[in-house]
Each structure stands twice: as C-alpha cells, then as structure tokens.
Amino acid sequence: MFIMFMSTSCKKPWIPMANLRIQVPVSRILVGLLYLLLSLLLLEPKNISAVADDDDENAATTLVGINKQGDPSVLPPPSTGDYYVGGGGDSSSEMLEQYCNTDLRTFLPPPYGNITGMVCKPVWNTFILRYLQRDDHVMTIILSAVYTSGWVGIGFSKDGMMAGSSSMVGWFNKKGHARIKQYFLQGTRQSQVIPDKGELPLTNVPPVVALYGPMIYIAFQLKFETHLARQPIILAFGARIPKHFRLTHHDDKRNLVFDFSAGSSSVLHVSSSQKKNHGILGIFGWGLILPVGAIIPRYFKHKDPLWYYLHAIIQLIGFIFGLATVLLGIQLYDTLNVRNSNIDAHRGIGIFILVLSILQILAFFLRPGKDSKIRRYWNWYHHWFGRLALFFGALNIVLGMQIGYAGNDWKIGYGFLLAVILSTVIVLEVLSWKKNSHKLNDPPPTFQMNPIQ
C-alpha cells in the first residue's frame, strides 16, 4: 500500500546464461547507504566531554586577579549543600524577585555595585538577568544563579544555536578562586570551545565573578555599535569544574530571545519533553515501522496474500507516526523566534517526506490492474518513491539529532537500529539473490514422449 520494494521472488522462465545482463546487487547499494548514514552519525560533532578537576594555577595571570587581594567580590563558597547550579531550592518568581532587591554594593566592585536603574528579570529556573543599556550603547550585564559548584554561563548567538556563539562563563575552582572567561563556541567538540576568544565587544572594565549567599554573580560590560534590542541568548550550567579552562559538558541549557529594549524574553526552544516526543515519533515511524513494512513485500511475497495485508497495515501505522511527527515539528517550528539553515532544512525535508507519503497513499487507491499496460510504470513509481522517502527519513533523523544536540544515547540507539535494519536487508537480499541464481542455473525439465507401442 505504502512503500514497497520490487519483488525478486517471482518465477522466471529459464534463460541461457549468455543472455543474462550483469546487474549491481541491491546489497551493495544498501551497504553504501549504511556507510553514508553511519558516517553522518559518527562524524557528527560530539558533545563536550566532562573533565572534573581544578584549573591550572600557573595560568592565573590570564584571569582577572581580583581574588588574590581579599576583594569583597570574592566570598567563600556557601557551606550548605541544599543548592545546585540552576536548580534546587525554590525557583518561584516571588523568590527570584526577592533576589532583585539584593544590594549589589555589598559584594560587587565598581562600577557593577553602584549602578542604579538596572532592569532585573528572572529568565529561567534560578537564573536572574540584570542589565542596563546606556545611550552610548554600553551595556552592563549581571547574571546570577543558585550555585554550589561547576560553572555558569551566558552566550550571545546570531541564530540561536550554540555553534558560532560567544559566551561569558564564570566559576570557582576547588581552592575557592574566581574564574571568568570569554569562550568562542566554534562547534560542539571540546577542542572547538576556545577560551579567551569570541566576538563579544568587552569594554576595558574587567569582568567579575562573585559569590553572595547561595548565588553566583557574573558581571561584565559590552559596547555595541547600535542599540541592542531582540537578541538570542543561551543560558547554561555545568556541575563539574573546568580543568585547564576547558569547559565540561553542560547539565542543562535554555535558549531565549531576550528583548534588551523592553526587558522581556521569549523561549526559543520549547521544553525538552516536546523535542523528545518529536524525536521518538520520528525514529519509530521513519526509522523502524516504515522500513519493516517495506521489507515485507520484497522478501515475503511467497506468503500471498498475507504479505499484502501486513504491508498495508504496517505502512498505515507508520504513516500515522510520520504525520504526527510532522505536525509536532510544525508546532515546534512555529514556537521558534529564530531561524537558521539547519532548522529550515530539517523542516523542508520533513514536509517533502510527508508529500511523498501522501503520494504513496494516493498510489494505493489509483493502482491499475495487473494486466494493465501502465502497471509497470506504477510499480516503478511506487518502489522508488518509497525508497526515496525512507532514505530522506533516515537522513532527517540524523539532522534532527544534530539540531537538538542529542546525547550519545540517542546517536548510539539510532545507529544500532539502523545497523540492524540494514544488516537484515542485506542478509535477506543475499539469500534472495542466491535463491534466484539457483533457479536460473537449473535447466528446465526435458520433455519426453512416450514411445509408440
């Protein structure tokens, strides 16, 4: 009904071997597709690996050295273990707004501590963003969050994605020394997160990181060429202390589009559960159900008519999963306030696959009879459109995992599923090829006439 490979199990008349044409086995094509898709999975930039240890004290000269002189901006870490970076404690708006009334002069040095008129907004979890933008386009930013260990950071992005963004990250090492650095996220590999690099226009005012009560404060100044309005920002935290200034992998993050002219923000990426549901539906529909439904008519046509009903039912279920995936994806896309080429490509491929799916459904109702002259053209259309849809479905799953920064468990899980399906197809194709070869090599039964008695 939906996606069907051409069957090779039908009986054929005996043909002399000299008239046979050499054809490329489908198994070789499938091996090539397996290699391509697994390469996309394995060569995709990996997440930053976690490294738990202190930073290099010999490189302290590259940092703002305000923590060596007993400056009030550096306080001892809190003794309680009831708080956690970006989580724990009461994260209600009322509690966070109380922290907006904190007197910054008691622990932040000038100019951060004595700036009046700063906008203070709870933005995510226990993260609070303070800022003030002057007429000369100089902006003072103070980010605070509940903290016990690890690091806290805020990134500025052009398109809302982590790759290509510049961020300010602050933490306290195991000796209680303050650390704050700018990082350039060239990619998502650890080697691509470069310290002391970035595109943030920092002023000559040194950035500061401080602890006060359960909160960590990251303060810095930027000077832009124009007045900053709607800006994609990335808030993130990690529970492990960076070693040699190499950031550990974030435990959680949130992308926002923050309006610095009005002090409002809108969520760029919806909740992780919605993204997870979108990914699960796509993997089950396009990664499992539809491929299984396509295998049945190619290798089990001798089970007539069982193969036909199984093919129709399984592909209908797969179509429902695929349709739900696209509808949820459209909902997620409409929620985004920032577009980029990867998201647009993922959306475009998804819609293209949906169109192919609908055409396959229509092909089922417009199927000509077996004796029709156009039946072979219908078969060609049905087979190759189905294969094209399955290929782009697998490709879009890989692209979706890259956009959603899926963890290794997603990549390994889908890679294993893809390998199992393609290995099964290869084995069945080899067995089918051998079976058909034996049929071609066996001579037809000789015709004998009974002798005339």
Domain with 321 in it: what CATH number?
Answer: 1.20.120.1770
Is the model more confident about 443 or about 311? 311
177 within a domain of the structure (yes/no): yes
Do both 202 and 78 map to the same domain? Answer: yes
Give the range among 74-83, 181-190, 204-213, 323-332 with minimum mean pLDDT.
74-83
pTM over 0.85: no
What pLDDT is recorded for position 15? 42
- The answer, yes or no, to whether residue 330 has pLDDT greater than 50, is yes
pLDDT tens across 149-180, in order?
888 888 888 777 777 788 888 888 888 888 88
77 within a domain of the structure (yes/no): yes
What pLDDT is recorded for position 151? 86
355 within a domain of the structure (yes/no): yes
Between CA 155 and CA 257 the distance in angstroms is 11
User: Residue 261: phi, psi to the nearest 5?
Assistant: -85, -25
pLDDT tens across 86-100, in order?
333 344 455 555 677
Do both 103 and 34 map to the same domain? Answer: no
DSSP string, 377-436: HHHHHHHHHHHHHHHHHHHHHHHHHHHTT--HHHHHHHHHHHHHHHHHHHHHHHHHHHHH
295 within a domain of the structure (yes/no): yes
Do both 241 and 320 map to the same domain? Answer: no
User: Residue 109: phi, psi to the nearest 5?
Assistant: -75, 165
Do both 64 and 41 map to the same domain? Answer: no
pLDDT tens across 3-25, in order?
444 444 444 444 444 444 444 45
Do both 180 and 297 map to the same domain? Answer: no
Please give the residue range of the domain that contains residue 294.
Answer: 17-45+272-441
Do both 65 and 40 map to the same domain? Answer: no
Do both 295 and 238 map to the same domain? Answer: no
* Nearest Cα residue to 239 out of 166, 173, 148: 148
Do both 341 and 213 map to the same domain? Answer: no
Q: What is the distance between the terminal CA atoms of the chain, rounded to a whole angstrom? A: 57
Round the average pLDDT of the chain to a whole number and report it.
74
- The answer, yes or no, to whether residue 324 has pLDDT greater than 90, is yes
What pLDDT is recorded for position 316? 93
82 within a domain of the structure (yes/no): yes
Q: What percent of the chain has pLDDT over 90?
A: 18
* Nearest Cα residue to 268 out of 313, 234, 310: 234
